Structures are given as structure tokens and as C-alpha cells.
């Protein structure tokens, strides 16, 4: 797997999602944003753990790589800020636009400057190895993410189950309590009838 092709495929996917974000409305917009966030977090992770460390050493890519780290930090902060919102208001829309512009600028610099210089600095074998390592890390991350989402789904299901069990128990205890009170009131009534008969005698 060619490292540059893998990263470019990620870039195109995020571009498509940003286009969807522009046309989406209401909660659909928030759902598209969540997809963008997941894609960008995964993309920045594989670049920072595998790709960038390999480009820090060569002189021709050193400065551009350090700049790329800084651009990632800006994107991460914007993602955090946008994640706090429940709905897409005007302020959110403006911030989402800033995120898009930052991502587009970053992609332009990577594909226009960093990738060509990295291609010159690295051997074909190194580029292939980096691509394979990034792909493996991506799969590992996606696997652990799906596991954690399954765990949280199980937890919420267990919570719902225990809550319904507690409700059932509460209902059952209420029923038995009402039965006991009706029995005791019934015996009181019969007792009062007997005493009334005695007094009449």
C-alpha cells in the first residue's frame, strides 16, 4: 500500500463529507459532523504515529512536518469546540467553516509540498512500508473503537434491563403491600361486625 495514496484517499473522503455538511440540515448536520470528526481523528492519529515521525529526520521534510503537527493541533481544538454543541446554530456553522478551511489548507500543503518532498527523501520500499503500517494502525484503531462502542451498547442495555427489573420489583412490592392492607382492613371490618352483634345482645 502506497503511503501517499492511502492519505490522499482519506483526504477525498473528508472533502466529500464537508460537501454533505454544507447541504445537511438540523440533526443530520450533526451526524455528518460526527463522521467528519471520526475520520479526521483517525487520519491525524496515523499521520502522527507513523507517517510524520518518518519525515522528521530528512532535512527537506523536517520543517514542513513540524508545521503539519501544529496544523493538526488547530484542527483538534476546533473539533473539540464543535463537539460540545447539541445543535448547529450560526456560531457553530461559522466555526465549522473555519474547520473546513483549515483542513483544506492542510491538505493543500501536504499534497502540494510535503508529499513530493517526502517522495524524494524516501525510498519506494520505505513508502510502501509506511503505507502498510498506517493501514494496520488504522484497522487496529477502528477495531478498538467498534469494541468500545459495543461495550457501551452492552452497558446501556444492562442498565435498561436492571432498571426495568427494579421497576418490576417495585410494582410487585406495591401490589403485595396493597393486598396486605386490604386483607387487614377486611379482618378489621369483620371484627367490628362481630363486636356490633355482641353489643346488640
CA distance 128 to 121: 13
The pLDDT score that the predictor gives to residue 142 is 87
CA distance 187 to 173: 21
- When pLDDT is averaged across residues 125-149 and rounded to a whole number, the result is 88
Residue 175 Cα distances to 2, 24, 55, 134, 178, angstroms: 69, 51, 72, 61, 5
b vs e for 46-57, b when ≥16 Cβ sit within 10 Å of the residue's Cβ?
bbeebbbebbee
Confidence of residue 201 (pLDDT cuts 50, 70, 90): very low
- When pLDDT is averaged across residues 150-168 and rounded to a whole number, the result is 59
In the predicted structure, residue 163 carries a pLDDT above the cut 90: no
Q: Poorest-confidence range of 66-80, 96-110, 161-175?
A: 161-175
The pLDDT score that the predictor gives to residue 153 is 64
CA distance 150 to 191: 61
- When pLDDT is averaged across residues 159-171 and rounded to a whole number, the result is 59
Class at the top of the CATH hierarchy for domain 3-143: mainly alpha
Q: Is 185 in a helix, a strand, or coil?
A: helix
For residue range 4-20, what is the model confidence (pLDDT) as tens digits?
A: 999 999 999 999 999 99
Other beta carbons within 10 Å of 102: 16
The pLDDT score that the predictor gives to residue 154 is 61
Q: Poorest-confidence range of 41-45, 62-66, 134-138, 186-190?
A: 186-190
For residue range 17-50, what is the model confidence (pLDDT) as tens digits?
A: 999 999 999 899 999 999 999 999 999 999 999 9
Domains of the chain by residue range:
3-143
For residue range 56-86, what is the model confidence (pLDDT) as tens digits?
A: 999 999 999 999 999 999 999 999 999 999 8
Amino acid at each position: 500500500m502506497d503511503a501517499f495514496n492511502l492519505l490522499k484517499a482519506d483526504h477525498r473522503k473528508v472533502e466529500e463529507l464537508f460537501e454533505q455538511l454544507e447541504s445537511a440540515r438540523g440533526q443530520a448536520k450533526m451526524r455528518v459532523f460526527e463522521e467528519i470528526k471520526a475520520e479526521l481523528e483517525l487520519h491525524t492519529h496515523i499521520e502522527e504515529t507513523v507517517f510524520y515521525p518518518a519525515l522528521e529526520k530528512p532535512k527537506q521534510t523536517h520543517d514542513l512536518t513540524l508545521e503539519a503537527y501544529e496544523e493538526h493541533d488547530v484542527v483538534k481544538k476546533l473539533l473539540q469546540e464543535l463537539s460540545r454543541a447539541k445543535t448547529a446554530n450560526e456560531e457553530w456553522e461559522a466555526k465549522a467553516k473555519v474547520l473546513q478551511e483549515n483542513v483544506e489548507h492542510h491538505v493543500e500543503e501536504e499534497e502540494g509540498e510535503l508529499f513530493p518532498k517526502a517522495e524524494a527523501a524516501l525510498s519506494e520500499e520505505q513508502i510502501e512500508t509506511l503505507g502498510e503500517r498506517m493501514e494496520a494502525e488504522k484497522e487496529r484503531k477502528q477495531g478498538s473503537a467498534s469494541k468500545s462502542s459495543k461495550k457501551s451498547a452492552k452497558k446501556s442495555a444492562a442498565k435498561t434491563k436492571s432498571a426495568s427489573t427494579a421497576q418490576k420489583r417495585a410494582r410487585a412490592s406495591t401490589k403485595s403491600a396493597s393486598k396486605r392492607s386490604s386483607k387487614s382492613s377486611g379482618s378489621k371490618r369483620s371484627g367490628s361486625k362481630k363486636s356490633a352483634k355482641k353489643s346488640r345482645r
